[in-house]
């Protein structure tokens, strides 16, 4: 009589690499241009810093890492062996398995000649020369940047100090750095005592509403890489601040200065920062 026996067993997948794009950021180029803003001008070149890992069980060769720049929002999906805007020479570089990673910087990526908001599409092993667990799920990465019609300034709040007065207001000293591509003036700088307390939608008239203090319009341009201290008086502060608070700061709150942040965006967009202080 035939006897049936059930025996459990495990199927182990064949060892195979699995390359994955983990991260991509704008590459620092030794100067201030583009370090913070992910922006360049038409027909110039730029660089990116990227991290690639191998989640598989065998070492994997990177193959060609390819890049394309397309209009923001375009449904572009690169395919194996497609001609790219730029292709790297890292084909023989190998990444160890089980989550090991390497970081690379690729420079000389050409920006399109047409200004606008763009998407950089990256494809690791772009010729699909390395057999992997998957070829499409995580081999690609996207990154948004701007191609400007001309160099523009870009501003960054780096610090703030506050001194409370007897009248229930405070004077803020806001340090702002130009990390853009051209010299530019700051316009009106405004402060609200707490970024957590302010719940309204920011727009180009917010600076002129209750609870805000504003400077006079700053018209002296700040050179690229330089900083300026702007005094903002009469910021309502009805209570002493004995612990660290976070102020809400608007740069060019009246929307009068063209800058990298707001180009190609809604015209009512306001550039805001949070900055810690005590008073």
Q: pLDDT tens for residues 74-105?
A: 989 888 889 999 998 776 689 999 999 999 88
User: If you write DSSP's letter for every residue of 135-157 in order, what string do you get?
Assistant: SSSSSEEEEEEEEESS----EEE
Q: What pLDDT sits at residue 97?
A: 94
CATH of the domain at 39: 2.60.40.10
Least confident interval from 16-30, 210-224, 233-247: 16-30
Answer with the residue of higher pLDDT: 34 or 157. Answer: 157
Residue after which a domain boundary falls, among 122, 148, 174: 148
Of the pLDDT bands very low, low, confident and very high (cuts 50, 70, 90), residue 243 is confident
Q: What pLDDT sits at residue 236?
A: 96
Give the whole-angstrom CA distance, residue 259 versus residue 206: 18
Of the pLDDT bands very low, low, confident and very high (cuts 50, 70, 90), residue 272 is very high
Q: Is residue 2 part of a domain?
A: no
Residue after which a domain boundary falls, among 120, 148, 176: 148
Under 8 Å between Cβ of 47 and 148? no
Distance of alpha carbon 40 from the chain centroid: 13
Does residue 10 have a pLDDT over 70? no
Q: Are residues 81 and 175 in the same domain?
A: no
Q: What pLDDT sits at residue 30?
A: 44
Of the pLDDT bands very low, low, confident and very high (cuts 50, 70, 90), residue 263 is very high
* % the chain with pLDDT above 70: 92
Q: Is residue 9 part of a domain?
A: no
Measured over the CA atoms of residue 183, residue 188, residue 191 and residue 195, the dihedral's sign is negative
Virtual CA dihedral for 131, 136, 138, 140, nearest 10 degrees?
110
Does residue 147 have a pLDDT over 90? yes
Rg for the chain (alpha carbons), in Å? 25
Q: Are residues 24 and 143 in the same domain?
A: yes
**Tokens (6 digits) for 149:** 């019609």
Q: What pLDDT sits at residue 15?
A: 85
Q: Is residue 199 part of a domain?
A: yes
Does residue 9 have a pLDDT over 70? no
Does residue 261 have a pLDDT over 50? yes
3-class SS at 20?
strand
Does residue 156 have a pLDDT over 70? yes
Residues across the chain? 279
User: Range of 269's domain?
Assistant: 155-277
Q: Are residues 57 and 35 in the same domain?
A: yes
Give the whole-angstrom CA distance, residue 215 versus residue 172: 10
Q: What pLDDT sits at residue 27?
A: 84
Q: Is residue 62 part of a domain?
A: yes
169-189 average pLDDT score:
95
Q: Are residues 138 and 208 in the same domain?
A: no
234-251 average pLDDT score:
92
Start-to-end C-alpha separation, the chain: 92
β-strands 100-110, 169-178 pairing: unpaired
**Tokens (6 digits) for 123:** 């494809």
Q: Are residues 144 and 160 in the same domain?
A: no
Q: Are residues 107 and 202 in the same domain?
A: no
Q: Are residues 161 and 142 in the same domain?
A: no
Does residue 29 have a pLDDT over 80? no
Classify each residue of 48-87 as buried b or exposed e, where b means 16 or more C-beta atoms within 10 Å of its C-beta. Answer: bebebbbbbbbebbbbbbbbbbbeeeeeeebeeeeebeeb
Q: What are phi and psi of 187, to 5 degrees?
A: 70, -150
Give the whole-angstrom CA distance, residue 208 versus residue 185: 19
Under 8 Å between Cβ of 273 and 253? no
Of the pLDDT bands very low, low, confident and very high (cuts 50, 70, 90), residue 130 is confident
Q: Is residue 48 part of a domain?
A: yes
Q: What pLDDT sits at residue 31?
A: 46
Q: Are residues 103 and 181 in the same domain?
A: no
β-strands 94-95, 45-54 pairing: unpaired
Q: Are residues 162 and 267 in the same domain?
A: yes
Q: What pLDDT sits at residue 32?
A: 40
Residue after which a domain boundary falls, among 85, 118, 148: 148
Q: Is residue 10 part of a domain?
A: no
Domain count, the chain: 2
Q: Are residues 172 and 255 in the same domain?
A: yes
Q: Is 63 left (phi over 0), alpha (psi -120 to 50) or beta?
A: left
97-123 average pLDDT score:
93
Least confident interval from 9-18, 104-113, 126-135: 9-18
Does residue 222 have a pLDDT over 50? yes
Under 8 Å between Cβ of 222 and 182? no
Under 8 Å between Cβ of 123 and 69? no
Does residue 141 have a pLDDT over 90? yes
Q: Is residue 221 part of a domain?
A: yes
Q: Is residue 93 part of a domain?
A: yes
Q: Are residues 186 and 93 in the same domain?
A: no
Q: Are residues 29 and 143 in the same domain?
A: yes
- 39-59 pLDDT, tens digit per residue, is 999 989 898 999 999 999 999
3-class SS at 207?
helix
């Amino acid at each position: 009589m035939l006897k049936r026996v059930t025996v459990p067993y495990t199927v182990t997948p064949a060892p195979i690499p699995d390359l994955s794009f983990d991260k991509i950021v704008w590459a620092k180029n030794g100067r201030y241009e583009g370090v913070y803003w992910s922006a360049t001008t038409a027909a110039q070149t730029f660089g990116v810093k990227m991290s690639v890992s191998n989640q598989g069980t065998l070492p994997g060769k990177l193959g060609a890492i390819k890049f394309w720049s397309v209009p923001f929002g375009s449904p572009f999906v690169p395919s194996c062996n497609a001609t790219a805007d730029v292709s790297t020479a890292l084909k023989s570089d190998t990444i160890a398995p089980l989550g090991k990673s390497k970081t690379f910087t690729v420079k000389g990526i050409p920006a399109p000649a047409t200004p606008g908001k763009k998407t950089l599409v990256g494809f690791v092993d772009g010729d699909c020369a390395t057999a992997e667990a998957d070829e499409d799920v995580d081999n690609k990465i996207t990154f948004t940047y701007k191609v400007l019609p001309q160099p523009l300034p870009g501003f960054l709040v780096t610090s703030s100090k506050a001194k409370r007065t007897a009248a229930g207001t405070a004077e803020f000293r806001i340090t702002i750095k130009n990390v853009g591509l051209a010299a530019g003036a700051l316009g009106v700088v405004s402060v609200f005592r707490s970024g957590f307390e302010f719940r309204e939608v920011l727009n180009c008239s917010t600076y002129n509403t209750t609870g805000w203090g504003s400077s006079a319009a700053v018209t002296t341009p700040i050179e690229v890489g330089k900083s300026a201290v702007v005094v903002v008086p009469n910021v309502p502060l009805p209570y002493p601040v004995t612990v660290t608070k976070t102020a809400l700061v608007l740069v060019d709150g009246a929307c009068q200065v063209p800058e990298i942040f707001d180009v190609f965006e809604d015209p009512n967009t306001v550039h805001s920062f949070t900055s810690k202080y005590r008073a």
